[in-house]
Amino acid sequence: MKEPLTFQEKQILVSLFNTLIILVAYSYYLHSKYAAFTDQMLNDLQFLGKAFLMLIPITIVVQVVFLIIFHIVVRIISSEKIPEITDERDKLIELKSIRISHWVFISGFFMAMGSQALGMKPFVMFLALIISGFLAGIVSDIAKFIYYRKGV
């Protein structure tokens, strides 16, 4: 018999959904705003830095808003008690998933640095960092979900 999803598992799925939404929305935003990417623009470190930094507050705001909505929805439609504490199992799962996501991000970081060592354009470094950042978030959520579901 399949076990129903626990609160933590649902929360992870919401987080994963958020990450994917942000990834799609951010890509679309950059593409529509800077449709006419000039070669000069793509290699302007100031522009790339701004585009990267802009992502951080947007991600935080979207994640917080979605989590608030999720908590409200769970309280309204489900009789499940929302855990108010983070216990040792939650902390262990968090640590294990962070370790996996760090490896993913570090791989992306090395690829980014490698692209510069090979003389590629700064835009390649920017892309490698952005993609590895998103991948690290997605992998972290998937790892957490598996640990909660299969055991740790």
Residue numbers at the binding site for other proteins (CB under 8 A): 6-8, 81, 83, 85, 87-90, 148, 150-152
**Cα gap 107→136, rounded to integer Å:** 10
Instruction: Specify the residue, 7 or 29, whose C-beta has the smaller distance to other proteins.
Output: 7
Taking alpha carbons only, the member of 26, 15, 9, 6 closest to residue 101 is 15
8 Å CB contact between 140 and 19: no
> Closest separation between CB of residue 149 and other proteins, Å?
9
Instruction: Specify the residue, 76 or 85, whose C-beta has the smaller distance to other proteins.
Output: 85
> Closest separation between CB of residue 40 and other proteins, Å?
53
Instruction: Specify the residue, 6 or 27, whose C-beta has the smaller distance to other proteins.
Output: 6
Cβ-in-10-Å burial (0-12, 13-18, 19+) of 67 comes to middle
> Closest separation between CB of residue 151 and other proteins, Å?
3
> Closest separation between CB of residue 10 and other proteins, Å?
11
Instruction: Specify the residue, 58 or 80, whose C-beta has the smaller distance to other proteins.
Output: 80
Instruction: Specify the residue, 134 or 148, whose C-beta has the smaller distance to other proteins.
Output: 148
Cβ-in-10-Å burial (0-12, 13-18, 19+) of 76 comes to exposed
> Closest separation between CB of residue 132 and other proteins, Å?
28
**Cα gap 135→138, rounded to integer Å:** 5
